């Protein structure tokens, strides 16, 4: 019995060690392979289309950053879980060895020793089963997250390859590339709209658009749905879900020096005082406020003011205690949660769609778009009623050199299309006026005032 048990123990130790090493190596190699794949894919794509890479750097940061951060988070969580379970297995094996040693020294009754050995063996087998199950679960989670990264990398790489060959040749190949690039950009617009809808709170619209365009794996819907649950919990005056989120992201929140957890604990204290449970509030303060790490000076001042609420009723008119009792603090907590959540995944506070729209409107905006007595250009997006209001607060486009354009044809006015001025003061291109005169027996009609002139009355304009 002793010899067999010793052999079994040695085998268990060997299996545990090999399992730990293989798990650690597979996770480390997966991380290394992940970094190598990311660098290699982007480098390969950059070789074919540097312009597309510049485009992606400006607009596709969150497309890769969010799943990459999620993968890193799952990798760290898997390492902690596996290390913890391996420690449990090793402790069980140590207990088994200790019991076997006592048995070999004849220091325990035979019956009791055999029973204890059986129980310990069952415990080791049980803990090994738990280790195997959690290892498989962690590996599955990591593979799912890695698959999302791979899909997005392939999606961006596809754009680099298509844009690299777009318009490079005449004929079918160039046209096919142009069509493929246009289709890819349409899909990107849908992704930008989904992100904007999620940030604006239109979750159903975002989900329906993602399903319709088949871009679920290319969007961050899951991230925003988790945020929605936390925000709804805070709106319902509950803190447990947000505190759980803080616990899951504790290390990252500590790195960005977030005060969200402390403010949540303060709000719990305030609610206890509001309900006149002052003794419970004191217990709450002793339990949580002493454990808050590295409070900054400003946070210490806030904490002192919160503790001062014990001496005031909820309807006190005295500041700053009146503000501490204000229900608007819950809205402030929601805003801080959103800000910290964006910082964790390096997301901007403004959607990419909003930034791109503002940049586009600003590049097209001119003072003429807002002249009340001027004619609107039907081809100008800023001149349209809706976008005209959106662009009102944006700066006008910077133009270091003016460009004159014919009002009739839209063609540039230059040495090949000289600007001609009519007697009423309006300037048009020579080509447009001569084409009009050829159709009307040498007569031209001003499209703005409807006045009719002879072609000979038009004079050249010299721009200095």
Condensed to tens digits (0 to 9), the pLDDT of residues 182-208 reads 888 899 999 999 999 999 989 999 999
Picking from 197, 166, 207, the residue whose alpha carbon sits closest to that of residue 183 is 166
User: What pLDDT is recorded for position 244?
Assistant: 93
| 227 and 274 inside one domain | yes
User: What pLDDT is recorded for position 120?
Assistant: 79
How many domains does the chain divide into?
4
174 occurs within a structural domain: no
| 224 and 260 inside one domain | yes
3 state DSSP class of 154:
helix
| 267 and 359 inside one domain | no
Q: Is the pLDDT of residue 300 over 80?
A: no
Q: Is the pLDDT of residue 40 over 50?
A: no
User: What pLDDT is recorded for position 2?
Assistant: 42
Picking from 162, 188, 172, 155, the residue whose alpha carbon sits closest to that of residue 49 is 162
Q: How far is CA 411 from the centre of its chain?
A: 43
Q: Is the pLDDT of residue 14 over 70?
A: no
User: What pLDDT is recorded for position 165?
Assistant: 52
Q: What is the 8-class DSSP label of residue 368?
A: G
Pairing of β 443-445 and β 427-429:
unpaired
| 213 and 227 inside one domain | no
Which residue did the predictor score with more confidence, 103 or 62? 62
306 occurs within a structural domain: yes
Return the structure tokens found at 207: 């989900």
Residue corresponding to tokens 């060959």: 165
| 262 and 298 inside one domain | yes
| 328 and 245 inside one domain | yes
pTM of the model: 0.71
- What is the spatial distance between Cα 340 and Cα 345, in angstroms, rounded to a whole number? 9
**pLDDT, tens digit, for every residue of 67-100?**
888 888 888 888 888 888 888 888 888 877 777 7
Question: Which range, of 25-29, 49-53, 219-223, 400-404, averages the lowest pLDDT?
Answer: 25-29
396 occurs within a structural domain: no
Helix (H) / strand (E) element for 316: namely none
22 occurs within a structural domain: no
What is the average pLDDT score of the chain? Answer: 80
User: What pLDDT is recorded for position 383?
Assistant: 86
User: What average pLDDT does this structure show over 228-246?
Assistant: 93
Domain that holds residue 138: 58-101+116-161+179-217
| 319 and 385 inside one domain | no
| 62 and 199 inside one domain | yes
- What is the spatial distance between Cα 12 and Cα 20, in angstroms, rounded to a whole number? 12
369 occurs within a structural domain: yes
| 85 and 202 inside one domain | yes
Q: Is the pLDDT of residue 123 over 70?
A: yes
User: What pLDDT is recorded for position 293?
Assistant: 53
8 A C-beta contact, residue 308 and residue 325: no
273 occurs within a structural domain: yes
Picking from 155, 174, 156, the residue whose alpha carbon sits closest to that of residue 165 is 174
Report the CATH number at residue 458.
Answer: 3.30.40.10
| 212 and 320 inside one domain | no
40 occurs within a structural domain: no
Picking from 89, 90, 86, 121, the residue whose alpha carbon sits closest to that of residue 103 is 121
| 338 and 356 inside one domain | no
Domain edge (last residue) among 366, 391, 416: 391
Question: Which range, of 151-155, 278-282, 302-306, 323-327, averages the lowest pLDDT?
Answer: 302-306
**pLDDT, tens digit, for every residue of 140-179?**
888 888 888 898 888 888 888 877 655 444 445 556 678 8
8 A C-beta contact, residue 181 and residue 166: yes
Q: What is the 8-class DSSP label of residue 405?
A: B
User: What average pLDDT does this structure show over 96-107?
Assistant: 70
| 233 and 261 inside one domain | yes
Domain edge (last residue) among 217, 232, 247: 217
Q: Is the pLDDT of residue 37 over 50?
A: no
83 occurs within a structural domain: yes
**pLDDT, tens digit, for every residue of 341-367?**
999 998 888 889 998 888 888 888 888
């Amino acid at each position: 019995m002793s010899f067999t048990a010793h052999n079994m123990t040695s085998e268990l130790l060997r299996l545990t060690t090999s399992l730990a090493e293989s798990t650690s190596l597979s996770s480390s190699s997966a991380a290394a392979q992940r970094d190598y794949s990311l660098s290699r894919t982007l480098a390969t794509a950059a070789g074919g289309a540097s312009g597309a890479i510049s485009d992606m750097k400006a607009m596709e940061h969150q497309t890769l950053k969010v799943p990459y951060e999620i993968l890193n988070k799952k990798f760290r969580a898997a390492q902690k879980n596996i290390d913890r379970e391996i420690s449990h297995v090793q402790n069980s094996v140590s207990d088994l060895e200790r019991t076997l040693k006592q048995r070999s020294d004849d220091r325990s009754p035979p019956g009791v020793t055999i029973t204890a050995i059986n129980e310990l063996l069952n415990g080791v087998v049980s803990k090994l089963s738990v280790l195997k199950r959690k290892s498989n679960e962690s590996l599955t989670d990591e593979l799912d997250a890695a698959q999302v990264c791979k899909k997005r990398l392939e999606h961006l790489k596809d754009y680099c390859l298509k844009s690299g060959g777009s318009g490079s040749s005449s004929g079918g190949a160039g046209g096919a590339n142009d069509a493929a690039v246009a289709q890819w950009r349409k899909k990107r617009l849908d992704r930008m709209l989904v992100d904007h809808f999620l940030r604006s709170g239109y979750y159903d619209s975002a989900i329906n658009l993602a399903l319709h365009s088949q871009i679920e794996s290319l969007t961050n819907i899951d991230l925003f749905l988790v945020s929605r649950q936390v925000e709804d919990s805070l709106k319902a005056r509950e803190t447990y879900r947000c505190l759980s989120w803080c616990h899951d992201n504790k290390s990252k929140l500590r790195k960005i020096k977030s005060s969200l957890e402390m403010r949540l604990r303060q709000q719990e204290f305030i609610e206890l005082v509001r309900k006149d449970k002052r003794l419970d509030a004191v217990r709450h303060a002793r339990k949580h406020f002493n454990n808050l790490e590295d409070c900054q000076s400003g946070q210490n001042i806030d904490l002192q003011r919160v503790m001062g609420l014990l001496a005031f009723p909820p309807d006190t008119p005295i500041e700053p205690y009146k503000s501490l009792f204000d229900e608007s603090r819950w809205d402030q907590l929601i805003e801080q949660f959103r800000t910290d959540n964006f910082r964790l995944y390096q997301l901007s506070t403004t959607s990419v769609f909003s930034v791109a729209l503002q940049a586009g409107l600003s590049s097209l905006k001119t003072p003429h778009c807002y002249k009340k007595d001027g004619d609107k250009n039907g081809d100008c997006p800023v001149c349209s009623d809706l976008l005209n209001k959106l662009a009102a607060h944006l700066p006008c486009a910077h133009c270091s050199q003016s460009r004159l354009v014919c009002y009739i044809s839209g063609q540039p006015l230059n040495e090949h299309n000289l600007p001609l001025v009519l007697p009423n003061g309006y300037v048009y291109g020579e080509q447009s006026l001569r084409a009009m005169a050829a159709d009307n027996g040498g007569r031209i009609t001003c499209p703005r005032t409807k006045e009719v002139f002879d072609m000979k009355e038009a004079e050249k304009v010299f721009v200095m």
